[in-house]
Amino acid sequence: MMEFCWKFYENIKEVKVLLGLMLSLLVLNGVEPNCYKILDLKEGQTLYLQNDNYPNYGGENICTWKIHSSVIIKATCYIDLNDDCNENIFLFDDGNSTSYTTCGQDTITFEGFNSTITIIFASAFNQGRFICEIKTNTCQCGKKKVTRIVGGEETEINEFPWMTGIVDLNTNILYCGATIIYDRYILTAAHCLYERNINEIVAVVGEHDVSTGSDTNATKIYKLSECVIHPEYDFMKDAYNDIAICETVERIKYSPEVGPVCLPFKHKYDSFTNDIVTALGWGLNEYGGSKSDTLQKVDLKVIKCLINNTNIICTFTPGKDTCQMDSGGPILWNDPITNRIILVGIISAGEGCASNKPSLNIRVSAFIDWIVSITPDAQYCQVE
C-alpha cells in the first residue's frame, strides 16, 4: 500500500515537473504564452478547441483554456504530436486528475458534473495538433415545470411533466398512474395491466383535472402498441415484481408540460432510507372515499422495510399515504446535487390508506437492467 501511494504521488510530481520544464524551455526558446481563455458553458452548448491552423499542425505557441459548466460536461480530445517527446505537451486537468501527452497520438475523455477543466497546449515547433469537443448534457429528464392523495395537496398544472394516467376506454375512468421514461415508453405497475386488453386502454399525458378539458392544452391521448409485464410477476402470490412497460403507437411529443423523468442509473445501490420522496396520483382521497379529479402530490418518508426484499422500497408518514387508483404512479426523489427528479419507486401495494403500516412500492433501481433490455432503442440520460 505504501509503495502504491509513493508511486501515485511520484506520478503527480512527475507531471508537474515535466510541465514546468516544458514551459520553461519553450519560453527560453522565444515561445511566449499567447492565449489564455476562461469560458463558461451553458446547458446544451458545444465548444470546439483546436490548435491554430487545424487540421494542419500549429506553430510555436502556449495556450491555456479554463472551461467551467454548472451542468454535466463531456469532453473528448484527440491529440497528434510528433515523435520527439521533448518538444510538445498537451495537458488536461479536471480538478481531480491530470492527463498529459508529450508525443504520438492519444485520446482523452472526461465526463463530470459542475466541473472546471483546464487544457494547456504547448508546442516548440510546427509539429503538433489537437482538437477537443466539449459539450454539456442535453438530457431533458427530471425537470419540473416552474410555474388528492390522502393528506396530500393539489399539484400545479403540469408541474410534473412525466405524469401519465392509464384510462379504461369502456368506463372512461383513469384507474392507474404511469410515468414517461422515454418518448415511446411509460412505466407502470404490472397489476394495472393484469388481464387487461391493450386495445381497451390508453395513456393520457399532460393531464391535470380530469373533470374538465380547459385547464391545460397539453393533454393528449396515446394508444398503446405493446405492454410487457415483468416475467416474474405473480398476481396471486406477491407484489415483488409488480412492474410493467408500455410502448406507445406514436412518439410522445415533448414540451415544457410533457417530458420524461430521470431513471436512477447513478443511484442503483442507494437505499434512500430516511429521505423524503413525493408520490403522485389521481386516486382516492381516503380508503373507500371519492376519487380526486385533480392530480395530487404527497411527501412521504422512506423507511427500512421489515420485508427483506431488495425489489421493494417502503414509505410511511403518519396521516399521509397513497391510495386506490394511485397504483402505477411515481415515487419521486429530488437529487440535491443536480436538482433533477429521479423515479425511485412505483406505487404498488398497501394495507388501507394512511394506516399505521407502511406502503410497499417497487424499487425502480432493482429493475434498471430489465427496463433497458425491454427498451433497446431508448437513449436514457444515465448521468442526470
User: Which residues are tagged catalytic?
Assistant: 191, 242, 327
C-alpha cell read off for 268: 442503483
Element (H, E) at 157: none
**Residue 348: alpha-carbon gap to chain centroid:** 23
CA distances (Å), 140 to each of 224, 245, 340, in order?
A: 23, 20, 9
C-alpha cell read off for 6: 509513493
Strand partners, 211: none
Do residues 111 and 72 lie in contact, with contact meaning Cβ atoms separated by under 8 Å? yes
Residue with cell 463558461: 40
State the Cα torsion 146-147-153-158 to the nearest 10°.
-80
Element (H, E) at 245: strand 244-248
Residue (of 109, 87, 97) closest to 18 by Cα position: 87
The secondary structure of 253-298 as a DSSP string is PPBTTB-PPBP-GGGTT---TT-EEEEEES-BSSTT-PBPSB-EEE
> Which amino acid does the sequence have at 150?
V
Compute the distance between CA of residue 61 and CA of residue 365 in angstroms, rounded to an integer.
Answer: 50
Biggest alpha carbon distance in the chain? 85
CA distances (Å), 272 to each of 163, 309, 345, in order?
A: 22, 15, 11
Strand partners, 47: 134
